[in-house]
Structures are given as C-alpha cells and as structure tokens.
C-alpha cells in the first residue's frame, strides 16, 4: 500500500538527485554532457561569486532570530485571549496565503526609492532618511530579509500559539504560588515547555530561508543588484537557466542539498538527545 507513494517520490525526487550528482561532475549545456570529474567542485570553490552567494545565505541566517522572537511575542499577546483575539489570529495568518510573487511585487514598490517606505517616513517627519535599499547590495538583502521575516510571522505565530494552548495551566499557578513573577514564569516555565515548538519553527524558518525565497527574489530583485540578493537557491536557477551551465547548476543544487541534509540530521540528533 505504500508502494505508490514510494514510487512517486523515488522516480521524481530520488532518481533526479542521483542524476544531479552525476551531472554535477560534468560540463553540461543541456544537450551534451562531458565528464569532468571532481574538478567541477574545485573550480566552483575557487569562484569568488560562489562565496559571495554563500555569504548572502549566512547573512540571511541573521534574520532568523527575528522570525522567531517577534512571533513569540505576538503569540504571547494572543494567548491572553482578549476578546476578539481569534479575529487577530486570522488576520496575522492571512499573509501566509498569498504567494511570494505577490509579496515580492508589493515589497518591490515598498522599498523602492520612490516607494511607500519613504512616503511613510516622510509623513512621520523623517523625510531626511531617504532610502534606496534596492540599489545597494547589502541593503537589498536586508529588504529581502525584512520581507521574509514579515511573511514568516503568520506561520510561526500560529505554531507558538498552538504550543501555548497545550500547556497545563496548573503549572503556571504552581509557579505563582512558588513566588515567580510574570516574566519569570515565562522564562522558567512557559519557554522550556515550548521547546519542541520552537525547534519546529526554527527548522521550518531555516528551510524556508534556504529554499523558498526563489519567487520572492525573482520578482523583487532578480538576484541583484550585482550578487547582492543572490542566495544559493537563486544561484542554481541563474547558473543553469540563464547561463546554460546545467552541470554547474546541478552541482550547486547538490551543495544545497547537502547543506539541508546536514541541518536536517542535526535537528534529528538534537531532538533525540534532549529526550
């Protein structure tokens, strides 16, 4: 009964991975593939563009704590169950339903030199801070990062909120009697119990950061300016389809896969050891 699932995955995902490994060792322009061998990897590692791209990925990692802390705070607010909280919960989760393409388009206008961000700043009297984030490399990455965090807020808030709902209220009461103040209860009692949920959110956010931003970047900056917002996943697409270097593209894909595999295994190891 499990054969169809296995077959589907094996043929469409499993085999391509092995193929990708093969192709990563070749010089392939889509029609002919000439075997080169491991030197394809070495050449890539010597390419400064490659490291620039990896640097972008690393910088993106810096955004992850924000994508965790902000939703945690919002979930805490929602958990107070002020009348109408369900409405807000829906509202906060709504951005999850819109595609990255749409988000990217809006973000593009938002961060543009004549865009909404500057308008808003001006209306607060901060008009002197005129930004043109999308035309400077690192700032563009920051713009992408901000948009990314914004879009993860909905998902992660829901995750933390469901986590908080599973907590035993008598624990908080016992802590009150034991003399803990509200922040102390949060730190010593609530947070440790949310560990599973936090782990889940971190993994999801990490995976998204590395594999789900293609559409966003495509629409917002196309990887630019220069290599400013080219993350590894975008680089795969660019190398293969824009430059017809399918072999290199495959190799980059493999590198990405290895990184994800390492993260995934690390998480499994973490989970197992804490229990």
Partner 1 sequence: MTMSDLDYSAQVLTRHKRRSTRRIVRDGVLLVVMMLVAVVMLYPFYFMINTSFKSNDQFLNGGGHSFASWAKLNANLPWARELLNSTIVCFSAIALILIVSTMAGFAFAKLHYRVQTFVFLGIVAALLIPMQSIIIPAFVNLSRVHLLTSYWGAVLLYAALGTPFATFLMTAYFRGLPDDVIEAGIIDGLSYGSIFRRIALPMAVPAIVTIVVLQFIQIWDDLLVGLLFLQNTDQRTITVGLGVLASGRTADFPVLMAGSLVSALPAIIVFLIFQRFLINGLTAGIGK
Partner 2 sequence: MATVRFAKASRIYAANQAPAVNRLDLDIADGEMCVLVGPSGSGKSTALRMLAGLEPVDDGAIFIGERDVTEVEPKRRDIAMVFQNYALYPHMTVRDNMGFALKMAGVSKPEIMRRVDEAAKLLELEPYLDRRPKALSGGQRQRVAMGRAIVREPQVFLMDEPLSNLDAKLRVSTRTQIASLQRRLGITTVYVTHDQVEAMTMGDRVAVLKDGLLQQFDTPIGLYDRPANLFVAGFIGSPAMNLLAGVSTSGGANVLGATVATPGTQVAADTRIVLGVRSEDLVVDSDAPDSECLTLNVELVEELGSDAYIYGIAAGSDTRIVARTAGRQAPARGERVRVRIRPEHLHVFDEATGVRL
Chain residues 67-106 in contact with partner 1, contact rule CB under 8 A: 74, 77-78, 80, 82-85, 88, 90-106
Which partner, partner 2, partner 1, none, binds residue 213 by CB below 5 to 8 Å per kind? none
Q: How far apart are alpha carbons 130 and 97 in whole angstroms?
A: 31
Contact map string, positions 154 to 173, toward partner 2, x by CB under 8 A:
--------------x-xx-x
Q: How far apart are alpha carbons 234 and 211 in whole angstroms?
A: 9
In the bound state with partner 2, the residue whose beta carbon lies nearer, of 37 and 83, is 83
Q: Does 195 bind partner 2 (CB under 8 A)?
A: yes
Query: Directed axis angle between helix 64-79 and helix 85-93, to 10°?
Result: 160
Q: Does 186 bind partner 1 (CB under 8 A)?
A: no
Site for partner 1 in 110-129 (CB under 8 A): 110, 116
Q: How far apart are alpha carbons 213 and 211 in whole angstroms?
A: 6
Which partner, partner 1, partner 2, none, binds residue 174 by CB below 5 to 8 Å per kind? partner 2
In the bound state with partner 2, the residue whose beta carbon lies nearer, of 191 and 266, is 191
Q: How far apart are alpha carbons 249 and 237 in whole angstroms?
A: 7
Rg of the chain taking only CA atoms, in angstroms: 22
Beta strands in the chain (DSSP E): 26-28, 33-35
Site for partner 2 in 174-193 (CB under 8 A): 174-181, 184, 188-189, 192-193
Which partner, partner 1, partner 2, none, binds residue 170 by CB below 5 to 8 Å per kind? partner 2
C-alpha angle with apex 51: 45 to 56, nearest 5 degrees?
150
């Amino acid at each position: 009964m499990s054969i169809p699932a296995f077959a589907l995955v094996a043929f469409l995902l499993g085999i391509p991975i092995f193929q990708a490994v093969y192709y990563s060792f070749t010089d392939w322009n889509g029609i002919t593939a000439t075997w080169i061998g491991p030197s394809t990897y070495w050449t890539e590692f010597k390419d400064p563009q490659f490291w620039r791209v990896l640097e972008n990925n690393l910088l993106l990692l810096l955004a992850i704590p924000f994508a965790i802390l902000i939703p945690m705070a919002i979930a805490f607010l929602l958990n107070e169950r002020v009348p109408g909280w369900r409405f807000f919960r829906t509202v906060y989760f709504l951005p999850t339903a819109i595609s990255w393409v749409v988000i990217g388009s809006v973000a593009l206008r938002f961060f543009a030199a004549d865009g909404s961000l500057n308008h808003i700043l001006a209306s607060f009297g901060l008009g002197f801070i005129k930004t043109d984030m999308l035309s400077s490399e690192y700032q563009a990455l920051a713009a992408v990062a901000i948009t990314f965090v914004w879009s993860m807020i909905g998902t992660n808030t829901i995750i933390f909120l469901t986590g908080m709902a599973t907590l035993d209220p008598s624990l908080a009461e016992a802590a009150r009697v034991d003399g803990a103040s509200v922040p102390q209860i949060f730190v010593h009692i609530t947070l440790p119990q949310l560990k599973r949920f936090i782990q889940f959110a971190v993994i999801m956010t990490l995976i998204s950061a590395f594999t789900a931003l293609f559409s966003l970047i495509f629409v917002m900056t196309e990887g630019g300016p220069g290599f400013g917002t080219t993350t590894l996943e975008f680089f795969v697409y660019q190398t293969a389809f824009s430059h017809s270097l399918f072999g290199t593209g495959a190799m980059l894909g493999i590198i990405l896969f290895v990184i994800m595999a390492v993260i995934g295994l690390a998480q499994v190891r973490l989970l197992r050891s804490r229990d």
